[in-house]
């Protein structure tokens, strides 16, 4: 669906070259939701703009549906639905008029356009506000309208740039549900976001960028598990028995225990099989005369993985 092959982007500034994107190779599968994450200056926005044909790579190639974005930019744009951050709306137009304008810009006409306007306004739950001026819409309504307009020409790839920034939590979740609904209907989605919860909730896979490079790609679950090299458990034991418990697990835990560290009042254990560990760790410790007072799964966050890979925390 979407392929980037050794893509770089270099800017010249005051006789100095700045490599904003550095040799990025990435494949987004048809039908998936893929999110790009990165700290400020990581290169994700530049990458996003190159995919959208708003900028041209200095080196490398970008293909969408097998079309080269440099050789066939017009045909590539026909396959892309772009929903930019801070969409500039025609505030004095109604929702229907705005959709019609966007359709004509994409070359959609006649009954086909009118049918799509009807379908999309219903999809984004604005059918009853079709004759209302956009200037009276809330932020969430404007974002839903923007999503609808990005689909007016039936693109195979939907590009969402910070789609829920500035929205309240309830409106944000409603928009997530809409994005998932679109994806279930077969639309491939590429999201540029700084909201960890958004990437975690929506994405089939996430790409983390730092200093122009794509440093890691994986499912949210795999990225979170990579923080400790496996799944983690917290083991509570009696005070004073922590060292003995660590020794017992290292000596008798076998391949089940990948790592174990001590903290006041308990242990943190990394395992390749958490379900098995929940059953077997208490027995291993009991056989060594150590009583387990508590055992619980530790869930790392996507932000934990992000910080470990980039050394930075995203600021909101």
Residue with the larger pLDDT of the pair 313 and 37: 37
Q: Give CA–CA dist 273/65, Å, rounded.
A: 39
> What is the mean predicted confidence (pLDDT) over 258-280?
82
Q: Which domains does the chain have, with CATH numbers?
A: 2-224 (3.40.50.300), 228-299 (3.30.70.980)
**pLDDT above 80: residue 78:** yes
Q: Which residues pair with 157 in a beta bridge?
A: 80, 188
Residue with the larger pLDDT of the pair 13 and 108: 108
Q: What is the pLDDT confidence band of residue 296, given thresholds at 50, 70 and 90?
A: confident
Give tens-digit pLDDT for 199-221: 999 999 999 999 999 999 999 98
Q: What is the pLDDT confidence band of residue 305, given thresholds at 50, 70 and 90?
A: confident
**pLDDT above 70: residue 87:** no
**pLDDT above 80: residue 303:** yes
**pLDDT above 60: residue 315:** no
Pair type for strands 80-83 and 157-161: parallel
**Mean pLDDT score across all residues of the chain:** 88
pTM over 0.85: no
pLDDT at residue 314, rounded to an integer: 55
């Amino acid at each position: 669906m979407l392929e980037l092959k050794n893509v770089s982007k270099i800017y010249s500034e005051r006789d100095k070259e700045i490599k904003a994107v550095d040799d990025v190779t990435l494949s987004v599968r048809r039908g998936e939701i893929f999110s790009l994450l990165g700290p400020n200056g990581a290169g994700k926005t530049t990458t996003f703009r190159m995919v959208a044909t708003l900028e041209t790579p200095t080196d490398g190639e970008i293909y969408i549906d097998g079309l080269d974005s440099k050789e066939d930019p017009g045909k590539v744009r026909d396959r892309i639905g772009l929903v930019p951050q801070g969409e500039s709306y025609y505030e004095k137009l109604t929702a229907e008029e705005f959709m019609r304008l966007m359709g004509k810009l994409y070359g959609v006409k006649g009954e086909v356009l009118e049918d799509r306007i009807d379908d999309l306004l219903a999809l984004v739950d604005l059918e009853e506000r079709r004759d209302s001026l956009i200037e009276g819409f809330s932020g969430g309504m404007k974002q839903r309208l923007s999503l609808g307009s990005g689909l007016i020409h039936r693109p195979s790839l939907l590009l969402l740039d910070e789609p829920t920034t500035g929205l309240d939590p309830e409106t944000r979740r409603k928009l997530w549900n809409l994005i998932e609904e679109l994806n279930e209907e077969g639309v491939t989605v590429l999201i540029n976001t700084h909201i960890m919860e958004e990437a975690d909730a929506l994405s089939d896979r996430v790409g983390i960028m730092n200093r122009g490079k794509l440093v890691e790609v994986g499912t949210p679950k795999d990225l979170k598990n990579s923080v400790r090299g496996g799944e983690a458990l917290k083991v509570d034991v009696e005070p004073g028995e922590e060292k003995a418990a660590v020794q017992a697990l290292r000596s008798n835990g076998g391949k089940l225990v990948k790592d174990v560290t001590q903290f006041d009042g308990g242990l943190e254990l990394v395992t390749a099989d958490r379900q098995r560990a929940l059953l077997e760790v208490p027995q291993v410790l009991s056989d060594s005369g150590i009583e387990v007072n508590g055992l619980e799964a530790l869930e790392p966050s996507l932000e934990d993985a992000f910080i470990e890979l980039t050394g930075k925390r995203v600021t909101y």
